[in-house]
Amino acid sequence: MSFSIIYVALILVFMLFALMREYLRPGLVLFTAVVLLLVAGIITPEEAIKGFSNKGMITVGLLYLVSEGVRKSGLLERIVFRMLPKKKANITNAGLRFYPIVSFISAFFNNTPVVVIFAPMIKNWARKMKLPPTKFLIPLSYATVIGGICTLIGTTTNLVLHGMLIQEHKDEVTAAADGASEGILMRFGIDGIPMFELTKVGVFIAVAGLIYLIFFSRYLLPDNRHSEEEVEDLDIAPGMTRHEVLLGNRFPGLGKTLHEFDFFRHYGAHVRAICRGGRVLEGDFMNMRMTHEDTLIVDADDSFMKSWGESRVFWMINRVGDYEPPMSNKKRWLALVLLILMIIGATVGELGPVKEWLAAQPFVQEYMPALKLDMFFFVCITTVIMAWTRLFSPRKYTKYMSWDVLITIACAFAISTAMTHSGFADLIAGYIISLTDIVKGSDYGIFIILAALFLITNIFTELVTNNAAAALAFPLALAVSERLDMNPMPFVVCICFAASASFSTPIGYQTNLIVQGVGGYKFKDFLKVGLPMNLIVFILSVILIPIFYNLI
């Protein structure tokens, strides 16, 4: 075993340990790993930074702005608000009415803002219907995840892998021009993930997952965890309103007590209680250190929501008991039209006949030779139109992007390159393929390979984050397909589903962390409800991918 393989393996172990212990934010942990790979000469400076110019990474950043434009229009709130039962509601009936629509929305919309928008709405609705909100919030997160896996733009994980395929194909073309042999992606004509490539398998997973969430998850979910009466019994000063504030990763008071961090001086609100792990903390909460799992109960005047409602310091600010959907018809319809045109344009632009027709036009060949009607092209146009029409505030556009996610994605490309160049990915791929020796002479080899690839990726995503898991598993998928001389797409699709299937812990997926704070869930709640979801995605992925890609 070479020095490069051992060194890369040690860096990966360090990275996973640092991510699990949360020493730093994921973006900084991955950047540290990139620097360590750089100083050892495993990757070049160009390879270390190539992810920062990747179309997939930039597309993710622009989709944050598109998501903000749609969110501010009030379109999503109006859709779901109309779907929620207004009387005689029960848990199953309510789930039938809004989980499918939430999954559908999430297929074309980033998961995180969907949960940020709907979690307080559903919680307040459940209170009014005298139903426990805890029966709905974890399923809300899971419904967005299984909806997001169905399309290219439904989750950042899919776009990360799309960007990696684009970069790898570009590298293969460059290498071929220098005299190298044709790469695996070039042989199979793969230069990215088409918009609905994941749909043919993903829709079966989504339907099975929705059936489980609607009819069975309620029996595994807890009753109310927050001490609602205890919070409501706290007196509200005249002129004040009560809010639930879910602390974000940018909150400067993490790790500090309220004595050390003056919340009122920073935000003009009085903290009345801290909720953690499903209960209101008792005793002297002013001397308890705040974590990203905490929800603060605060009293503030009307300026608090206006000043901090769009800040990334907090995941969300929810006025307790109230919900008033925005009513801007003009912006609502403009946002809807732009979103539909973006999706249709990106889908049609990737079709082979459209590409051939465009390439055959003399005008295009002469004046626009670099024109490519892909997702990046239409996201750029949509973002610019939304900015100029003020669908999102152009002065605050940097606040709407999750920079840590973008840095994580950019660094993932360098780590993936190191795993490939060092031979580490090929070594692990060999072990995965060798598993088929267990069933020599049978037809189960491809199922075992996909199962191993899925489980490796899924364990990573439960322990760290979905984007980091995708980065670690991508070179393994390419190495396996190279060794088998098979189409890489089914293996990449398997990783897409496995990296997004983070149901058993709250830390693997951002939406799980959000509903944990809003619903006051404990770690074991995700384990109880999430394990069956993991099994559903695992079994259907391993069975259906070989069928749809003619691997058996």
Band of pLDDT at residue 316, cut at 50, 70 and 90: low
Asked if residue 437 lies in contact with residue 461, where contact means CB atoms within 8 angstroms, the answer is: no
When the pLDDT of each residue in the chain is averaged and rounded to a whole number, the result is 85
Alpha carbon 302 to chain centroid, angstroms: 32
Asked if residue 214 lies in contact with residue 143, where contact means CB atoms within 8 angstroms, the answer is: no
pLDDT above 70: residue 308? yes
Reduced to 3 states (helix: H, G, I; strand: E, B; else coil), residue 438 is helix
All structural domains of the chain:
228-319 (3.30.70.1450)
pLDDT in tens, 151-169: 998 888 898 899 889 888 9
Average pLDDT over residues 370-392: 89
Beta bridge partners of 300: 241
Q: What is the DSSP letter of 522?
A: -
Cα(69)–Cα(393) distance, integer angstroms: 9
Beta bridge partners of 354: none
Cα(4)–Cα(533) distance, integer angstroms: 38
Band of pLDDT at residue 324, cut at 50, 70 and 90: very low
Band of pLDDT at residue 330, cut at 50, 70 and 90: confident
Query: Which is more confidently placed, 256 or 365?
Result: 256
The residue assigned the tokens 């848990």 is 91
What is the per-residue pLDDT for 406?
A: 87
Count Cβ atoms below 10 Å from residue 482 Cβ, excluding itself: 18
Average pLDDT over residues 56-74: 85
Reduced to 3 states (helix: H, G, I; strand: E, B; else coil), residue 551 is coil
Band of pLDDT at residue 322, cut at 50, 70 and 90: very low
Q: What is the DSSP letter of 351?
A: S
pLDDT above 80: residue 318? no
Closest CA to 226 of 215, 214, 218, 234: 234
Reduced to 3 states (helix: H, G, I; strand: E, B; else coil), residue 295 is strand
Band of pLDDT at residue 231, cut at 50, 70 and 90: low
Average pLDDT over residues 59-76: 84
Least confident of 9-18, 319-328, 435-444: 319-328
Average pLDDT over residues 11-21: 85
Cα(1)–Cα(3) distance, integer angstroms: 7
Average pLDDT over residues 4-24: 86
Crossing angle of helices 445-463 and 523-548, rounded to 10°: 150
pLDDT in tens, 461-497: 887 778 888 888 999 999 999 988 899 999 999 999 9
Tell me the three-class secondary structure of 47-86, residue by residue.
Answer: HHHHHHHCHHHHHHHHHHHHHHHHHHHCHHHHHHHHHCCC
Asked if residue 543 lies in contact with residue 203, where contact means CB atoms within 8 angstroms, the answer is: no
Closest CA to 36 of 52, 5, 12, 1: 12
Least confident of 116-125, 311-320, 345-354: 311-320
Ramachandran region, residue 423 (left: φ > 0; alpha: ψ -120 to 50; beta: rest) = left
Asked if residue 77 lies in contact with residue 121, where contact means CB atoms within 8 angstroms, the answer is: yes
What is the per-residue pLDDT for 474?
A: 92
Band of pLDDT at residue 523, cut at 50, 70 and 90: confident
Query: In this structure, what token pair is assigned to residue 339?
Result: 């979103």
Residues in the chain, total:
552
Asked if residue 210 lies in contact with residue 540, where contact means CB atoms within 8 angstroms, the answer is: no
Band of pLDDT at residue 323, cut at 50, 70 and 90: very low
What is the per-residue pLDDT for 490?
A: 95
Which residues neighbour 108 within 8 Å (Cβ) at sequence distance 6 or greater? 151, 153, 154, 339, 343
Band of pLDDT at residue 249, cut at 50, 70 and 90: confident
What is the per-residue pLDDT for 438?
A: 64
What is the per-residue pLDDT for 508?
A: 67
Query: In this structure, what token pair is assigned to residue 106?
Result: 């999430």
pLDDT above 80: residue 86? no
What is the per-residue pLDDT for 439?
A: 54
Band of pLDDT at residue 88, cut at 50, 70 and 90: confident
Band of pLDDT at residue 547, cut at 50, 70 and 90: very high
What percent of the chain shows pLDDT beyond 70?
92
Q: What is the DSSP letter of 274?
A: E
Count Cβ atoms below 10 Å from residue 174 Cβ, excluding itself: 11
Give ∠ CA 30-142-298 in degrees, rounded to 5. Answer: 80
Cα separation values, 261 from 105, 135, 248, 347, 448, Å: 39, 34, 15, 49, 53
